[in-house]
């Protein structure tokens, strides 16, 4: 359990004024005095800047065991007020050291979520303004800034103005919204009549590759389609959806009387960052009259770089697309961009306007974002994006994304040249999937005993590398082999960090071999 702030990294002290209760705390009414807030906010921002300056000196993963934090915290909420210095000291002592440091440049696991400094400034304003951008009138700026930022992102991703959209919390929600719209577009009238009305009709089904993200299946669960509605289409050797099998599956379902509604294609799958053959899928979807949703939650950021748009060819033929700014656009959690050419279908799926939400006193029509999502309330997510996009500029964003892709390309070359390692997937974007395969075992990988040994050895290798605290790598299975993923995408990651990850992989592999 880490309950000590590292020496020199963290002041752990706040001005004396915070040691006493403020008048609002003593009286028990009202909020913190604005002047006290000013002083406290300055101290907190100092702590944040110190954290960002020193994050690399922390272990990416806190060296703790599950269940070790709760016993350090009181089981019940305090009855009386506590001083700010006590509370903030506990943040330093208990919260920060026990966080997984997503801001660490050695964070190379999953797909990165960085909170850029300008994005953090946007989050501060967002929290303070407390905008609920559910209706235009509940946040004119939240609504219109979101329309502007959605347009900025759409244009810079190279998508035509026929796409419009909204910002949601996550790709999971964006995909759920898209599939709910697909269901309406297919004429199922689920929003009005529910699926029970179809009890005797065919089952609505949809298609995604075996490598598609679990959020697609979860959307099926949530939308009442059920996991059985999802047809997982097998992939080729490079983990791309087999279009011939997609076509066959649709034909089979139609022959059985099922009702195909959508295809989900992925640009940048979670395990290997593979790219489904979009053009061919778009043709199939069009012929079958199916909604095409493209999940580019991670890789979509690359479309910002015109020279790297190859994998996105034909994505403008999609009915809806999700790209997550909170993944590789360095935006603090949460921010997911959903764009669609058929926002009318999205609205059909989610619009419900009770009297108390109607805007009566404006002549012009209002755009109420709540009509396009399941929730009523919604955060003002556009502000942080607006601040951040202006701070870095599109050129700056492109340079950073391009630099990450180049780091991955360089690592891929190193892996390919090392006789004791092998790459398990094309490194199309900024993620390299690899495993340790000592040269003496080359050619014997398919022997069941060798397979099992390689899986176990790579699991131990990853654990050993992660235990150094210098980097954090994650894993997956590719063609039923344990694969280590080096996913580059943190704003602060440089060649030094990727080189170090590679050094550690080779060093720890050597130690395991010995
Ligand atoms: C391809 C893909 N789609 C969707 C998701 C889900 O993202 P979120 O956590 O924003 O729901 C992920 C998460 O990594 C992903 O890799």
Q: Give the span between the Cα atoms of 385 and 448, in whole angstroms.
A: 50
Query: What is the distance in A from the centroid of ligand 1 to the CA of 290?
Result: 23
Ligand 1 and 211: CB distance under 6 A: no
Segment 37-68, tens digit of pLDDT: 999 999 999 999 999 999 999 999 999 999 99
CA distance 261 to 205: 6
Cβ proximity of 297 and 112 under 8 Å:
no
Q: Is the CB of 295 under 6 A from ligand 1?
A: yes
Distance 377 CA to ligand 1 centre (A): 22
The closest alpha carbon to 377, from 168, 218, 192, 224, belongs to 168
- Decide: 131 in ligand 1 pocket, CB within 6 A: no
Two tokens at 396?
A: 């700056």
324 CB near ligand 1 (under 6 Å): yes
- CA quadruple 496, 499, 505, 510: dihedral positive or negative? negative
Q: Is 297 in the pocket of ligand 1 (CB under 6 A)?
A: yes
**Per-residue confidence (pLDDT) for residue 106, from 0 to 100:** 98
Ligand 1 centroid to Cα of residue 386, in Å, is 22
Is there a contact between 348 and 356 (Cβ–Cβ < 8 Å)?
A: no
Q: Max CA-CA distance within the chain?
A: 78
pLDDT digits (tens, 9 = 90+) for 4-25: 444 433 445 666 668 888 888 8
State pLDDT tens for residues 351-376. 999 999 998 888 888 999 999 999 99
Atom of ligand 1 nearest to the CA of 268: 1
| Token digits of residue 409 | 């390309």
> What value does the mean pLDDT take over residues 388-412?
98
Answer whether the bond into residue 334 is a cis peptide, omega within 30°.
yes
Residue 341 pLDDT = 98
Give every CB contact of residue 422 below 8 A, 6+ residues apart in sequence: 415, 434, 435, 437
Paired tokens of 54: 């020193």
Looking at 99-189, list the stretches that DSSP marks H as alpha helix, in order from N- to C-terminal side. 117-129, 140-156, 171-185
d(CA 296, ligand 1 centre) in Å: 9
With beta carbons less than 8 A apart as the criterion, state whether 164 and 181 touch.
no
pLDDT digits (tens, 9 = 90+) for 153-193: 999 999 999 999 999 999 999 999 999 999 999 999 999 99
**213 CB near ligand 1 (under 6 Å):** yes
Q: Does the beta carbon of 111 lie inside 6 Å of ligand 1?
A: yes
Q: Is 273 in the pocket of ligand 1 (CB under 6 A)?
A: no
Q: How many CB atoms lie within 10 A of CB 480?
A: 7
- Mean pLDDT for the stretch of residues 282-300: 98
Average pLDDT, the chain: 94
Distance 213 CA to ligand 1 centre (A): 7
Spatial distance between the Cα atoms of 92 and 210, rounded to a whole number of angstroms: 43
Ligand 1: which residue has its CA nearest to atom 15?
270
Residue with tokens 């690399």: 56
Cβ 476 under 6 angstroms from ligand 1:
no
Band of pLDDT at residue 416, cut at 50, 70 and 90: very high
Short-list 13, 95, 86, CA closest to 62:
95
Q: Which residue has the tokens 């009709």?
A: 201
What is the Cα–Cα distance from 98 to 61, expressed in whole angstroms?
Answer: 8
Which pLDDT does position 13 carry in this prediction? 61
Report the percent of the chain where pLDDT is more than 70: 96
Instruction: Answer whether 293 contacts ligand 1 (Cβ < 6 A).
Output: no
pLDDT at 199 (0 to 100): 64
DSSP for 379-391? Answer: ---HHHHHHHHHH
C-beta of residue 210 within 8 angstroms of C-beta of residue 234: yes
């Amino acid at each position: 359990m880490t309950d000590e702030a590292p020496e020199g990294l963290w002041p752990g002290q706040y001005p004396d004024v915070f040691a006493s209760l403020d008048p609002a705390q003593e009286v028990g009414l009202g909020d913190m005095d604005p002047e006290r807030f000013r002083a406290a906010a300055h101290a907190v921002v100092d702590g944040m800047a110190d954290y960002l300056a020193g994050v690399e000196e922390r272990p990416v993963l806190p060296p703790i065991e599950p269940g070790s934090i709760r016993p350090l915290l009181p089981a019940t909420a305090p009855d009386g007020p506590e001083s700010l210095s006590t509370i903030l000291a506990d943040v330093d002592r208990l919260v920060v050291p026990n966080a997984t440091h997503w801001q660490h440049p050695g964070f190379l696991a999953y797909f990165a979520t960085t909170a850029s400094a300008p994005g953090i400034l946007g989050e501060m304003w967002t929290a303070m303004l407390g905008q609920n951008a559910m209706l235009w009138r509940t946040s004119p700026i939240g609504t219109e800034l979101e329309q502007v930022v959605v347009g900025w992102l759409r244009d810079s991703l190279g998508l035509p103005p026929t796409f419009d959209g909204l910002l949601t919390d996550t790709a999971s929600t964006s995909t759920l919204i898209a599939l709910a719209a697909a269901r309406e577009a297919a004429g199922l009238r689920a929003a009005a009549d529910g699926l029970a009305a179809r009890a005797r009709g065919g089952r609505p089904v949809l298609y995604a590759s075996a490598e598609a993200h679990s959020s697609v299946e979860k959307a099926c669960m949530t939308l009442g389609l059920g996991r059985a509605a999802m047809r997982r289409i097998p992939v080729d050797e490079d983990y791309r959806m087999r279009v011939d099998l997609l076509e066959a599956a649709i034909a089979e379902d139609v022959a059985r009387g099922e009702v195909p509604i959508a295809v989900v294609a992925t640009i940048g799958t979670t395990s290997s960052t593979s790219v489904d053959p979009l053009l061919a899928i778009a043709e199939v979807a069009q012929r079958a009259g199916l909604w095409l949703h493209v999940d580019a939650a991670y890789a979509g950021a690359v479309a910002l770089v015109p020279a790297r748009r190859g994998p996105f060819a034909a994505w403008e033929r999609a009915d809806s697309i999700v790209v997550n700014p909170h993944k590789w656009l360095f935006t603090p959690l949460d921010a997911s961009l959903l764009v669609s050419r058929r926002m009318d279908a999205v609205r059909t799926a989610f619009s419900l306007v009770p009297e108390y939400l109607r805007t009566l006193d404006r002549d012009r029509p209002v755009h109420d974002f709540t009509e396009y999502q399941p929730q009523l309330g919604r955060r003002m997510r556009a502000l942080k994006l607006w601040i951040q996009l202006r701070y870095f500029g599109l050129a700056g964003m492109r340079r950073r994304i391009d630099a990450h892709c180049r780091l991955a390309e360089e690592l891929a070359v190193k892996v390919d040249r090392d006789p004791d390692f092998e790459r398990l997937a094309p490194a199309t974007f900024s993620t390299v999937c690899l495993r340790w395969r000592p040269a003496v075992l080359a050619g014997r990988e398919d022997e069941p005993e060798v397979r099992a040994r390689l899986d176990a050895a790579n699991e131990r290798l990853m654990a050993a590398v992660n235990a150094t605290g210098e980097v954090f790598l994650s894993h997956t299975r590719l063609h039923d082999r344990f694969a280590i993923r080096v996913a580059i995408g943190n704003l602060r990651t440089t060649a030094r960090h990727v080189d170090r990850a590679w050094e550690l992989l080779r060093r720890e592999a050597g130690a395991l071999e010995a």
